[in-house]
Each structure stands twice: as structure tokens, then as C-alpha cells.
Structure 1
Amino acid sequence: MSLPRLVVAAPATGQGKTTVSIGLMAALSRAGHVVSGHKVGPDYIDPGYHALACGRPGRNLDPHLVGEDRIVPLLLHGDTAADVAVIEGVMGLYDGRVGGHGFASTAHVAALTRSPVVLVVDISRASRSIGAVVHGMATFDDSVEIAGVILKKAGSPRHAAEVASSIALPVLSSIGRDDSFGVPSRHLGLVPAAERDEAAHTLDQLAQQIAEVVDLERVLQIAATAPDLDATPWDPHVEVTRPSDRRPVVAMAGGRAFTFRYAETEELLRAAGCDVVSFDPLTDPALPPDTAGVYLGGGFPEVHAAGLGDNVPLRADLKAAIMSGTPTVAECAGLLYLCQSVDREAMVGALNATAEMTPRLTLGYFAATAAGDSLLTSAGEVVTGHEFHRTHVDPPAGLSPAWTVDDRTIGFVSPTLHASYLHVHWAGHPHLAQRFADAVHAAVPHSAAPVRAVERRAVAPPAAITDPLRYHGDVEVAGGLLDFSVNVFPGPPPSWLSAALRDSLDRIGTYPDAAAASVAAAARHGRPPDQALATAGAAEAFSLVARLRSWRHPVVVHPQFTEPHAALQQAGNRVTEVLCTPETGFTLDPAAVPDDADLVMIGNPTNPTNPTNPTNPTGVLHPAATIQALLRPGRMVVVDEAFMDTVPGEVASLASEALPGLLVLRSLTKHWGIPGVRAGYLLGDPATLAQLRQAQVPWSVSTSAAAAIAACTAPAATADTATRAQTMIGWRQDLETALKRLGVEHVPSATSYVLDRVGDGVYARLRVAGIAVRRADTFPGLGPEWVRIAARPRPETDLLVAALSDALG
């Protein structure tokens, strides 16, 4: 193929090659030529200016990132229908990867593409010595042809003439010491074009200046001397395939804060059947509709941290998408954006980590080995990439590393998230694009949290309550009210859980077998297989315990969820209530439990390090010593840990404690958002579980429930458990902050809801305002002045707060 082309290089960095390259592109474009701009090396910023100058994507040519064999095909791919290609070099002409003997240098790319070189030389500190520099550059490597020289920062015409007389090669131009020749820089280099409102005007000025001092026809003549190239243009459709006939949406971050990504990344995803839609994390209130994958490239979130933090609705929506399993790739700036904070400015919070600016620059080319199987990689695969940042991220808990480089790890992964400092050019590793596209095609599209005005209409309370113990909050949300009543994680389950449930339908032609689910649940908590029993949710577990034996004196500690009390009554037991009161902060005095109680049911886990915790409607913890004081020979203590998985790290759990007389109950309903699949399990001593298993109705645990238990207790779910917990805790913290501002009395909580004393009548007024909260007077020990409010994303919380402010008068 015939393609006029040239490389703009320099003896060292900082001599003006970027200014000259961009100026030539702009001047040639404005002269009516179709120009294709390219950059040697991994840099993202210069190609942004190239795109602005040429009116077409700027592209990178980097042998380290994509391999030598792809350089010419990528050049030809970018030059389709172009009259001329201008390739901007990197650093000094012969400077490449450290220890690589010039590999990936400007000279290397010039030789691979057989392109003539125009050398830009800063002459501000020398005169005839420049001739020696140019002579050395021209004769150092026979594979490199320097066809012309542009002198930069000449002090005067006489100075420029003296230098030109020392150079044997054609001197194309002499440019004076004009500060307007250039673009501003900051801590990582040039300011991206997308961040400069005046960038187009600056390019117009630069194009005019270059056209006045450089003979463009001479430049085109040099470019035309480049020989034909015997290669086929790179084609993304050859590199990847479409996994399905659908076109799922990949949301790709853009705008001023996220300007770093290679053009071929988007082209590969489109070739793989994805619809790539840009969104601006600084301004857009939500992800694009039906987002099935997220790509967060590089940029400068530390510069725009305040603006990113202020966009609370988008942060909440993105966090909800990631927590629900939307496949997500985050490179460098994307990694920072997903942290809890960057320099103490709030970010998305999908990673339980913080990022800080540091004085040290991390810069380099690397060969990275995949530390394990992940969204993008298989364990042991090697890719090439680069790092370029001045920030540090403390490793988040519960996530595996993405890469290993020498003796260090880079990045963090879960089954649906790949976040790393390492920049990778997917044109050099198209299998990464394919795997991401495969996951996106298989994912359930994310639905943004509803953001709507609070409707004021007459909404009656639910029908009169005839049996408070059988009352459930799901009846609160009838009539389309905004749901703050049901403590189920909003949004779809993670994609891996949805896939497990779908796959279970292939087995519904046979009777269910929950044995494997029980084994998985036991392993999840480090127990032998005979110490776990899969159940059809908490309801079946409570019923099994209630009917396990003829209880002489069963006790239920209240306030707690009423299902265990109802199950005991239904089994014919006369229940004693032990009430925790607001006056004592809802703490339990073990002495209040009768000595002869042979069964104690308590809706709370144990947390020796945290003063509050989640699994009763108050959100208050009963300390470890309190639980242990209840254990004694002849007594069974049942602890309902329905919400323990909302606690990051589950540091409060008793599920791994094999204590005599202790039975721990877990449910998957709330955390994983699957109330329609009754799934849970019991943990206890083998003898007790054997009795419970014998009393269990055959096949009570459905095939889908067993699949859900196995999936949610598998090691692969651990990371998603932690990140989803962090999401709910963040929502709850936002809610508590708002309640404090309103002066609402509430019980400090560590779970996904808050118990509030709002006053009698507020519950009904909120319903009229279109808001459903959980009435609390059905819980023994609480009255009509109490309500329980579930944590929701910030946009919905803002609506609740506005309605609650009005309802309080």
C-alpha cells in the first residue's frame, strides 16, 4: 500500500517535537489534506491533540504494547483514506524500553514503518555544536533515515543561520523563542485537549504559525519518499467475534476527567457486538440506559476529584451496577474513581480502599502475569502494559490481585471486576476484549435507581393488622410507592448468580438434591459437611427448630423479626418475650432471660469489636459476652444472622464458631436480592442437624434454591459479598447523616436499615407523600412512633429526606 508518511523526532524530550507534530497536522489539515496522526509510545494526551488537529482519532504505535508485527497494520488501519500520516516520536530518537537496546523507541518504529524522519532540535543553548548532534543522530543507525531538520528556539536569524551552516542535512525551518508555541503541562505531562476549552483556538493559531515558518510542500515531498508497505490493515472484526446477536451497552467513561483510552479499544468492543456509549462522570446523573458493561479508562480523577465527588447520583448508580455484578474494567484513573476516596474526596466506593497523591512517580513498561482467573484473564497469562501515576492505593480487603510483576502485585479483581493501575493496549491482546465482550453479552443489563418526584396522593395504610407476628414489610409497597420498607438489595442479582439460577432450570425435570448446597455452606464457614443444613430460607429453619422437640420454656428476645416467634406459636409453644427497651439502647441483660429457658431465639450476631450490628430491627448488637452468657447445658441458643453478610468482613459472625448448644441461621434473601428464591442454611453440631434433617420435609429445598446456596457460598462470591456490603453500608451512612440533619432520633446501626423514632402519624403522612417505610409497631417492644427505613442509593434517599422533612412539619 502507498502511504506518504514521516516521523517527527528529537534528540531528547522537551525539545519541541510535540508542538511541531501537532502544528504540522493542523497546518496540513487546514490546507485541505486528510491527515492521520500517530504517536510512538503509550501516551494518551498527545493523540488527543492529534485528533483535534486532524479531525480523526489519534492512534498509538508501540511495539511493547502491541508487538512489532502489528505496528504497520495498525498504521495502515488508522490511515484509511488519508493523504499523509504524521507520526510523533517519543523521548529522544533512540530512547526505548530500559534495557531493551532501543526497543519501542522512535527509531524502532521509524524502521518498522520505513518512514523518513524530521528531526526537531532545540538550539537555545548551542550553535555549531548542533551540527555534531545532528550528524551523530543521522549516522548512529543505518536503518533510520533523517530527511530534514527543524530548528527550535532560535535566539535570532543570525543564530539560526550559524546553526544551519553546521548541518549537512536539509534545514526545513527555524522557529524562534515564542512561548505561544506549546501547550500547558502539569504533574503527569501535558494538559489533555479535552480539558482545555481554548484548545481548538490554540490549534488554529499554531497551524497558522507553522504554515508561516515551515515549507509544507517540502514536508509533503519528504513524506512521499516513504516506500510502499506490504501489509494488510489491522481489522478489529478479524480479532474478535460476536458472542450473540444482541448489542449490549458498554458504558465508557469520557469527559474532562477520563480522556485516556486507545481508539482500538472501542473498535474491538463494537466489532464484538457491543454498543459503546460514552458518559461523563462529572455531569451525567446515571449510567446510559441498559448498561451491561462498564469501561473506566485513564485520566486525571485527582484533578477533578471535587467535581466527581459532587456527582452523587452517578456515583451511587455506578456503585449499584458494580455491586450487582455488571462486568467492569477500570484502568488507573478508573481504579482511583472506584475507591472510597481520592485525597479525602468521596469517590464511588465500590472498592474498600482509599487513594492518595504521592511525590513519587511510577513509570515504566512491564510484562505482567495474570495472578488468577478473572473477568479478563486466565491464570498465568502474560500481557505487556505500562504504568504512569503519582498515586497510591491501599489494597482493599476481600479482592485478589490482578497481575504480578517481578515481586509485586498490581490491581484487584473479582469475578466481574478488573481494576488495575496497568494500562493495556487491547489491540495487542485482543483476547482481553473478547472475554470482556463475552461477559457483557451474558450480563443482565443494569437498571438505574428510579429518580422521580415525590408524588402526593392519598395512599391508605395496609389493611388492619390481625396478626402482628405474621406481618411483613412487603405489603407496604403496594400502589407503586417508593420502597424504603423491604430490606432487599435493590437491583438485579450479580450476573454469576443469575447464570446459576438460569442453569438450574435445566435440572427441574428431576427431584431436587440439596446435599451439595449443604456441603458448600459448611465449607464457606470452615466447617465439616455434617455441620450445615440447606433450608428453604429462614422460614423453614424457624419452623424446623420450633418443631424439633417439645420445648418447656422457649424465649424470644425482642425486638427482632417476628418469624421465629410465629413459628413457635404455630408449633403449639407458649412463648416468653424478653424485651430490650429504648431506655437501655436496646441492649440485652442476660439476667432477663429465665434460668429455666431451654430455647432462646435472638436476632443478632456477635461482634466483639463493633458496638452496633444488624440482625434485629433495631440494628443494635448484643455483645459476644452476652450471647455466650446465654449458653448452658440443656439450652439451645438460636442466632439469626440474616443480615450478617452486610457487615464488611463479617467480623461479627458466629457462623464459624462450633459452640455447644449454638445454632446459627443464615438467609440469602436480603443480601443477594432473591426473595423469590427461598434459600438459606443452618449451622450447628452434627447431632442437632441430623435431627433437623430428619424432620425436614423431603425436597423442600428447590433445585434453584440449592443452586443459589452453592453459588453464594462459593469462594468466587467472597469478593462480591464484601463490595456489596460496602455499598449498603455507604447508603446507610448517607441515610444516617440525613437523619441527623433533620434531628430525627434514630438507633445507630451497622446494617442496611435504620430504626427511627419519628413520632406517631409520620408513617401515614409518608405514605401520602409516596414513600413506603416499615411500620415498627408490629415488632414487640416498639410502638407507632417508630419506623424502620431501608438504605437506598442517594437519589432515592434525597427524595425520602424531602418527604420526611415535610412529614415532620
Structure 2
Amino acid sequence: MVTRLPRVVVAAPSTGQGKTTIATGLMAALRHGGREVSPHKVGPDYIDPGYHAVATGRPGRNLDPHLVGEDLVAPLLLHGARGADVAVIEGVMGLHDGRLGTGGSSSTAHVARLTRTPVILVLDVSRMSRTAAAVALGMRDFDPGVNVAGVILNRAGSPRNDAEITAALDDIGLPVLGAVPRDADLETPSRHLGLVTAAERDDVAGLVELLGERVAEHVDLDAVLALAADAPDLDVEPWDPQTVVTAPAGAGAAGERPVVAVAGGRAFTFRYPEVDELLTAAGCAVTPFDPLRDRALPPGTRAIYLGGGFPEVHADELAENTELLADLRAAVAAGVPTVAECAGLLYLARTLDDHPMAGALPVTAAMATRLTLRYPEAFAPTDTLLTRAGERVTGHEFHRTATDPVHGSVPAWQIDDAPTGFGGPSLHASYLHVHWAGHPRLAQRLADAAHAAPAASIASRAVAAESRAVDAEGAAGTVGPDDTPTDPVVRPLDHHGDAEVGPGLLDLAVNVYPGPRPTWLDAALAGSLEQVERYPDARAARTAVARRHGRDADEVLLCAGAAEAFTLLARLRPWRHPVVVHPQFTEPHAALLQAGHSVHTVLCRPEDNFALDPAEVPEQADLVVIGNPTNPTGVLHPREAIAALIRTGRVVVVDEAFMDVVPGETESLAEEPGGALVVVRSLTKHWSIPGVRAGYLLAAPSLVAELGALQPSWPVSTPALAAIEACSDDRAVAEGRRRADQLAGWRDELIHALSARGIRVLPSDASFVLAEVGAGRHAALRDVGVAVRRADTFPGLNDRWVRIAVRSPDVTRQLLAALDTLDHLSPQDGDTR
């Protein structure tokens, strides 16, 4: 297979010349000019690729012959560049600097040769003139196999000096592609291990945008593209994770992809994207969580991957998140398959610089005076979760922390005849970073362990376990592997309120309006049965919806409930960084997983009443899904907050399934112009017709056309079309407002009564409220005949919370009586709220 890929390597004579600034700015400038840019980095570094991802909107990827082997470098380049117009590869250190003692192996020059890519040399000319040409000449001629094809002058000074350098470079046949002047605004802050990561910078998008503007202003982008176009075709097959790992038969269907929880956020930014791709190809659902914010592991977690990062910088915040630390400790103790690399090892330790960590490993960790930096080959001394005795891998270490030695433990690796790390049947933790594309059997073994693990949610396991382990005097007991929920949910994302109800139970779990349907709606449904001998005709219903929201008919897509809309959106595009804002209705998340995507989670915090902070959504997100008002929190997000999520190249989906219960439908975006905004509506709850499956979405005509092309013929039944049409006229709007006002009154009474009992209740604008009743109260209420919706299957919530449907005052009084009964039965338990 021969592949055409325009590409350049951005290199320098040494570290500190500004190649990261120029490479990142070049990526941003080319993207701004309409090109799809594939970003790459020579070597094992995780930090620069984070900036590359912001600049391009694609994952930053590494090319490292030591980590993956020479034969895999070009295939990995082509894999990362699928669908791209041009690839930009940032070098490492000096052009010819590689692994010591190997003649330049794994250097930028080595990768340039393996990928047959022309090199652009970045020269810091702040302290030189014609000597720059001598340096460039040496760089070009040192290795004839490396094509140094152009130069960019960095930190340029006066025009006269620039002209002197340019003339000297012209004399040796090297064109100057640009001269970027000195600019203090372009400096990136550093710390003990290099640059501050992109995820930790609040101003990263602005910085990268500025880099792109400066490079576009001072570099000849057409000349760069022409140079890139001269790169020869590559006659290798792109790397494909599907060919190196396998998934069990049936994996990939809804609910059959075990969740692998991967640490992310500001403290855990180091993970090669191929890790996620390999685990996904092996049939797993890769689900990120943020140890700084999330209070529990993701629902349904069956394996854990803790990558690298800077936990030492965030030790205070990590230590304060005691709920997640306890959940992680209990998960490891229970044998949940767990892999920890470097920062992950520190997070599992007892303490880090005297800050309490998870305590899953019998070590303490602290900052050290000596930097550890090595590119070793590691040997597996015994069988573990990831390894088999005698196997070897290549990896790298880069840390300035150390752990105290532990005698008698099983090591994860042996490096230079010294044991290191911790291994076992369900655990593998060490300082060594390994690129799994070069050693896919490691990904396969973690995935196999996840598939074999018990299909039960471990979210909030530690919270529940520690609650049960408190004795009558209030002294904390021991959390052990048997401290698991008594009623685990096999597929948490597929758990819905209707599963909570049963014979003899008072239904406060399902959010269907409790009153009778209007007579005109029943008449429309009954009348539709006279038309079922013909195929459904959606034109009248689509016109009615368009009139209802002041939209054109081509901005409306009718669906079999909101669930079909989420499935269509998940299948619309090969989303690279889809984000679901949680806690919220889990159907969009499940649909994305079913479509084979790796879903990224942004969690709203309980201390903020689960309000949305748009800044928490990563810039690289190309799909963002949020509920408004949100199920199960009832939070109504301001229109301005949701509008702040809109970006070029990003689709924002707003689930307004419960907007019709908001008096006046304030904050609705249903009547906003389409663009990249999609509003999803459902009629099932407010009109008591969940069995009919009636819904629609509103979007720009082009998006509606794309989504409609994914639907089968006649996707919405005739009764559903009749319901949609009837519920969109003026009579329905008036009745909907009456119902919304009635629910608002009932809801205020419910919130007041719960608050008076000392129960925390979130402000709600929906037909339900989220209440923190305490651990175990969901099951206890069920035991006394009341069904409420458990909340621990929603990402970001634990079993202390329940969702309670708003009902009439007489039904609310029955709920309150049940709560009073529970308080009377167990007063000695203390405050469990």
C-alpha cells in the first residue's frame, strides 16, 4: 500500500531553540488556514503533544523507535494522520541527539529517516549572525540520509541581521521560510520536569491561538506546505489496533463493553492515545475520570488505568478527595485489575510528600533531589496482570520522586538487574512508562482481565463500605474486599427509572406526569389507528413542530423518542473527543459507547450545585452533550453558559427532554439558529406517553439532512406522528404551561418538606428533585414500599443521592411518612444524610 502524506519535521540543533513554540504555532496556523493537521512528537514526551492537541483538535501522538521499534514508526505516523491534509512532527532535543551509546538511535534524525520526511530547522538567532548558516550547514551535511530542506529563524532581531543570515543561508542553498521575532508573550512556563502541561493552563487556548497568529504572520506557510508536499510516498500499511488485539465474541454490543476507568484531568495528563484505541479495539469502554473532582470511580468499572502526570503538584487536592481515594483503595483490594504508571504508582501509595493517598500499596513517596531519566529495557521476573515471566519491554522513566524500598513484594519489572515496582495477578504498578502500541499484549491482557472481571458497578463501593464499617461508637472499621453493594447494577448506563418500580411500590422513580392525558391527545392517538394501513407520513407533524418553535421544516428531524436522536448523533461522525457533561441522563453516553467511541466525562460538582462551568470542557472536544434542565439534578443551566460551549468544528447537543416542565421554558435554545447546535426534545414524560416513543431534534438543515440519512425508512410510527402533531399546537402549548405551573407548585412543597427534615435537596426546575438522603436509604425506602430512583448509576453521583419524582401533595405526604418511619426505626445510626 502506497500512501501520500504531505509532512515535515520541525527540528533544532539543541534544546531551547524554540522548536515547540514554532511547531505548535505552525500546527495552529495551518489549521486556521483550513487544513486538517496531524500532530506528532519524536520521543516519549507527553507534554508537548498536549499543546499539539489544542492546536490541531486531534490527539498528539508520539513517534519513538525505542518504545515501539523501527518498523512501527511510519505505520503509526500514517495511523495518526488518517484524514489529515498534512502532518507536522516536532523533534526532540538536537536533531541528531538520541539514546546515549547507540549512535543516535531514536533521535529526530532517526525518525526523519524512517519516515522519509523533510526537516525544517529552527535556529535561535538571538545571539548570532552568519554563524547560523555554519550551524545549518553542519546539521544538513552531518547525515546525508536526513533531508534538511529549510530554515525558520527564531527570536529574530533587527531586519539587517535577519538579511545577513538569510543571505548566508542562500549561499549554502537553504531557503529561509520565516523569521519569528522575540516575543515574551510566547514563552511557556516550566517546572521541575519541563513545561507546564496544557491541561493545567487556564489560558492554553489563547496561548496556542497567539502562537498560530505569530507563525502565520512571520512564516511563509505556502512554502512550508510546498516543502511538505515534496515528501515521498510511504509504502507501508497504517497501524491498526484492530489487527493486534482481539475482542471476545459479542463485545461491542450495548452493555457488553466492560468499563476501563482511566485517570485524567489536570493531575493525570500522561497517556498515549494508542492505549485508549487498543483497549477499545479489545472490546472495552474507556471511561476517563478526574481524581481531582470525581467522588467515585465510573459506574460499572471493571479495570483501572492510572497513567502519568504531576500528582506531586496537586497532592493537596488529591488528598482532600477522600471518597475517591477510599473507592480506589477498596477496588484494588477487591482485585479489580489495575495498572499504574509513574504518577499512578504515587497515587496508590500510602502518602505522597506526607499527603495521604489511596494506601493501596505499602509505600510512601516523596520528592527527591535526583532526577531519574532513563530509556531502559525491562525484564519481567514473574507472571503478573500484564506480563509473563521472561518477557521484555522497552520503556522510559522520567521522575523526581522516589518510593521507600519494600522487602518481600513481587516486583513488576527488573531493570539493570534491580527489581522495581509492584506486580500481582490483578495489579501492575511501577515508574516505567511503556508505549502499548509497541507491546500490544499488555493492552490485550488488561482487556481480557476486564472482560473476565465480575460485571458489577464498583462506583461508591468504598463510601458504602466505610459507612457500613462504622460501629456504634463511631470508630471506623476496616474496608475489605467483601464490602460491596448488595444490589449492584450490571450495566449502570442502561439503568432507568422504570426498573425501580414494582407491585405494591409507591412510584416516585419514573418522571411521567401523573395526571390523565388530555382528551384531545387520546383522540389523536385513537384516530391514528385508522391510518395504520398506510405507511407513516411525517410532513404534517414536522410542519407542526417547526411552527411551534419558529423554525423551518428542514430544521426539524422527527425521531422515535430522544433515545433515537442520541443514537443517530453517536453514529454521525468518527468523533475524536466526544464529551458528556455529567451527572446527566446516561442514554447519550451509552449510545456513544455502543458506536465504539471513547467518551470523555466532564463532571459538575455537588459543591457548586452541579452548575456548568464551560471552561471545564476541553478545547479539543468536537462533540459536547449536556442536559437542560439536567436529569437527574434538575439544574437549569443559563443559555449563556451553554452558548459558551459553541466552537468552530464542534457540535453541541442540548437534551431538553424536560424543558417543557419549566414554566415559560426559560433558558431554552429550541428557537436559536442552528449552526452547530442541536436541541433534542421528548414528548414522552410531560404527556404520559412513554410507550409511544415520540421526540424530535432541531438543528441546522445540513445537520438534519446528515442525521436523517442515518435513519431507516419510516422511522417514526403513525401514532407517534399523531402525538407529535397534537402536542405541538396552541392548545397543547397552553395545557403544557398549566402542567408546568402545577408541577412547580408541587415541587416547591416537596423541596420545603425535605429541607425541613435536614435533607439536602438541590434547587430544581424539572419534574424531579435530587436529594442527598444518605447511604442505604434507597434500599430502605424500597423496603417500606417507596420506589425512588437510585442515583449511583449516574456518573458523578454515589448512593447517598436519590432522584425523587414530583407528585401531588398527597403522594408527597406518603413519601415523608416513609422517611419519618425510617428515622424512627434507626435513630441510633446517627445522621446518615
Would you say same fold, with TM above 0.5? yes
Question: Aligned pair 1:321/2:331, yes or no?
Answer: yes
Residue type of the partner of 2:327? D
**Of 433, 440, 443, the match for 1:430:** 440
Residue of structure 1 in register with 2:697 after alignment:
none
**Of 363, 370, 379, the match for 1:369:** 379
Residue of structure 1 in register with 2:157 after alignment:
155
Q: Judge which range, 183-192 or 217-226, deviates more.
A: 183-192
**Of 165, 184, 187, the match for 1:182:** 187
**Separation in structure 1 between the aligned mates of residue 409 and residue 242 of structure 2, nearest angstrom:** 34
Residue of structure 1 in register with 2:248 after alignment:
243
Aligned to 1:400, what secondary structure does the other structure show?
A: coil
**Separation in structure 2 between the aligned mates of residue 298 and residue 803 of structure 1, nearest angstrom:** 46
Change in CA separation of 1:340 and 1:231 when aligned onto 2, cut-off 3 Å: same
Q: Where does structure 2 lack aligned partners over 5 or more consecutive residues?
A: 251-255, 486-773, 781-797, 802-822
Residue of structure 1 in register with 2:266 after alignment:
256
**Of 478, 483, 491, the match for 2:483:** 491
Residue type of the partner of 1:207? G
Change in CA separation of 1:767 and 1:366 when aligned onto 2, cut-off 3 Å: closer
Deviation at 1:359, TM superposition (A): 1.8
Residue type of the partner of 2:242? H
Question: Aligned pair 1:209/2:201, yes or no?
Answer: no
**Of 23, 26, 37, the match for 2:25:** 23
**Separation in structure 2 between the aligned mates of residue 79 and residue 238 of structure 1, nearest angstrom:** 18
Change in CA separation of 1:170 and 1:452 when aligned onto 2, cut-off 3 Å: closer
Percent of matched pairs sharing the same residue: 60
**Of 179, 196, 208, the match for 1:191:** 196
Deviation at 1:352, TM superposition (A): 1.1
**Separation in structure 2 between the aligned mates of residue 80 and residue 17 of structure 1, nearest angstrom:** 24
**Separation in structure 1 between the aligned mates of residue 211 and residue 777 of structure 2, nearest angstrom:** 59
**Separation in structure 2 between the aligned mates of residue 769 and residue 273 of structure 1, nearest angstrom:** 35
Residue of structure 1 in register with 2:506 after alignment:
none
Residue of structure 2 in register with 1:347 after alignment:
357
Residue of structure 2 in register with 1:14 after alignment:
16
How many residue pairs match? The answer is 490
Asked if 2 retains the 8 angstrom alpha-carbon contact of 1:336 and 1:355, the reply is yes
**Of 374, 385, 391, the match for 2:395:** 385
**Separation in structure 2 between the aligned mates of residue 488 and residue 203 of structure 1, nearest angstrom:** 47
Aligned to 1:166, what secondary structure does the other structure show?
A: helix
1:88-137 CA distances to partner (integer Å, 9 max, x unpaired)?
A: 00000000011110100000000110000000011122211111111111
Residue of structure 2 in register with 1:34 after alignment:
36
Deviation at 1:770, TM superposition (A): 11
Residue type of the partner of 1:322? V
Change in CA separation of 1:202 and 1:159 when aligned onto 2, cut-off 3 Å: same
Change in CA separation of 1:106 and 1:807 when aligned onto 2, cut-off 3 Å: closer
Asked if 2 retains the 8 angstrom alpha-carbon contact of 1:343 and 1:355, the reply is yes
1:372-426 CA distances to partner (integer Å, 9 max, x unpaired)?
A: 1100001111100000000001134552111111132221112110001000000
**Separation in structure 2 between the aligned mates of residue 767 and residue 86 of structure 1, nearest angstrom:** 52
Asked if 1 retains the 8 angstrom alpha-carbon contact of 2:40 and 2:60, the reply is yes
Change in CA separation of 1:375 and 1:165 when aligned onto 2, cut-off 3 Å: same
Deviation at 1:449, TM superposition (A): 3.5
Residue of structure 2 in register with 1:447 after alignment:
458
**Separation in structure 2 between the aligned mates of residue 135 and residue 768 of structure 1, nearest angstrom:** 73
Residue of structure 2 in register with 1:542 after alignment:
none
**Of 235, 239, 242, the match for 1:234:** 239
Deviation at 1:178, TM superposition (A): 1.0
Change in CA separation of 1:486 and 1:135 when aligned onto 2, cut-off 3 Å: closer
**Separation in structure 1 between the aligned mates of residue 333 and residue 82 of structure 2, nearest angstrom:** 41
Deviation at 1:805, TM superposition (A): 9.3
Aligned to 2:324, what secondary structure does the other structure show?
A: helix
Asked if 2 retains the 8 angstrom alpha-carbon contact of 1:254 and 1:279, the reply is yes
Deviation at 1:176, TM superposition (A): 1.7
Kindly report which structure 2 residues correspond to 1:679-758, keeping only aligned pairs within 5 A, or say none. none
Change in CA separation of 1:371 and 1:769 when aligned onto 2, cut-off 3 Å: closer
**Separation in structure 2 between the aligned mates of residue 123 and residue 450 of structure 1, nearest angstrom:** 59
1:236-267 CA distances to partner (integer Å, 9 max, x unpaired)?
A: 00000013533110000000000000000000
1:137-168 CA distances to partner (integer Å, 9 max, x unpaired)?
A: 10001110111001112232122222222222
**Separation in structure 1 between the aligned mates of residue 457 and residue 261 of structure 2, nearest angstrom:** 11
Aligned to 1:378, what secondary structure does the other structure show?
A: coil
**Separation in structure 2 between the aligned mates of residue 431 and residue 175 of structure 1, nearest angstrom:** 45
Change in CA separation of 1:488 and 1:128 when aligned onto 2, cut-off 3 Å: closer
Asked if 2 retains the 8 angstrom alpha-carbon contact of 1:296 and 1:333, the reply is yes
Change in CA separation of 1:212 and 1:803 when aligned onto 2, cut-off 3 Å: farther
Asked if 2 retains the 8 angstrom alpha-carbon contact of 1:34 and 1:82, the reply is yes
Change in CA separation of 1:69 and 1:807 when aligned onto 2, cut-off 3 Å: closer
Question: Aligned pair 1:294/2:314, yes or no?
Answer: no
1:294-344 CA distances to partner (integer Å, 9 max, x unpaired)?
A: 000000000011111111101100111110000000000000000011101
Aligned to 1:232, what secondary structure does the other structure show?
A: coil
Asked if 1 retains the 8 angstrom alpha-carbon contact of 2:776 and 2:799, the reply is no
Question: Aligned pair 1:304/2:314, yes or no?
Answer: yes
Kindly report which structure 2 residues correspond to 1:589-604, keeping only aligned pairs within 5 A, or say none. none
Asked if 1 retains the 8 angstrom alpha-carbon contact of 2:297 and 2:460, the reply is no
Question: Aligned pair 1:285/2:295, yes or no?
Answer: yes
**Separation in structure 2 between the aligned mates of residue 103 and residue 120 of structure 1, nearest angstrom:** 21
Aligned to 2:267, what secondary structure does the other structure show?
A: coil
Residue of structure 2 in register with 1:200 after alignment:
205
Deviation at 1:492, TM superposition (A): 5.2
Change in CA separation of 1:241 and 1:487 when aligned onto 2, cut-off 3 Å: closer
Larger Rg: 1
**Separation in structure 1 between the aligned mates of residue 364 and residue 388 of structure 2, nearest angstrom:** 28
Residue type of the partner of 2:364? T
Kindly report which structure 2 residues correspond to 1:484-563, keeping only aligned pairs within 5 A, or say none. 489-491=481-483
Aligned to 1:53, what secondary structure does the other structure show?
A: helix
**Separation in structure 2 between the aligned mates of residue 224 and residue 257 of structure 1, nearest angstrom:** 39
**Separation in structure 2 between the aligned mates of residue 807 and residue 391 of structure 1, nearest angstrom:** 41
Residue of structure 1 in register with 2:100 after alignment:
98
Question: Aligned pair 1:166/2:164, yes or no?
Answer: no
Aligned to 1:85, what secondary structure does the other structure show?
A: strand
Residue of structure 1 in register with 2:278 after alignment:
268
Deviation at 1:452, TM superposition (A): 9.1
Residue of structure 2 in register with 1:72 after alignment:
74
Change in CA separation of 1:487 and 1:239 when aligned onto 2, cut-off 3 Å: closer
Change in CA separation of 1:767 and 1:448 when aligned onto 2, cut-off 3 Å: closer
Aligned to 2:5, what secondary structure does the other structure show?
A: coil
**Separation in structure 2 between the aligned mates of residue 806 and residue 491 of structure 1, nearest angstrom:** 21
**Separation in structure 2 between the aligned mates of residue 429 and residue 68 of structure 1, nearest angstrom:** 13
Change in CA separation of 1:325 and 1:492 when aligned onto 2, cut-off 3 Å: farther
Asked if 2 retains the 8 angstrom alpha-carbon contact of 1:451 and 1:796, the reply is no
Change in CA separation of 1:417 and 1:213 when aligned onto 2, cut-off 3 Å: same
Deviation at 1:483, TM superposition (A): 13
**Separation in structure 2 between the aligned mates of residue 424 and residue 358 of structure 1, nearest angstrom:** 23
Question: Aligned pair 1:222/2:227, yes or no?
Answer: yes
Q: Where does structure 1 lack aligned partners over 5 or more consecutive residues?
A: 455-472, 494-765, 773-794
Change in CA separation of 1:81 and 1:400 when aligned onto 2, cut-off 3 Å: same
**Separation in structure 2 between the aligned mates of residue 375 and residue 323 of structure 1, nearest angstrom:** 14
**Separation in structure 1 between the aligned mates of residue 89 and residue 226 of structure 2, nearest angstrom:** 16
Aligned to 2:138, what secondary structure does the other structure show?
A: helix
**Separation in structure 2 between the aligned mates of residue 435 and residue 451 of structure 1, nearest angstrom:** 26
**Of 127, 130, 133, the match for 1:131:** 133
Aligned to 2:437, what secondary structure does the other structure show?
A: coil
**TM-score for the superposition, normalised by structure 2:** 0.56
**Separation in structure 1 between the aligned mates of residue 478 and residue 18 of structure 2, nearest angstrom:** 62
Deviation at 1:371, TM superposition (A): 1.6
Asked if 2 retains the 8 angstrom alpha-carbon contact of 1:272 and 1:437, the reply is yes
**Separation in structure 2 between the aligned mates of residue 261 and residue 486 of structure 1, nearest angstrom:** 33
Residue type of the partner of 1:66? V
Asked if 2 retains the 8 angstrom alpha-carbon contact of 1:450 and 1:796, the reply is no
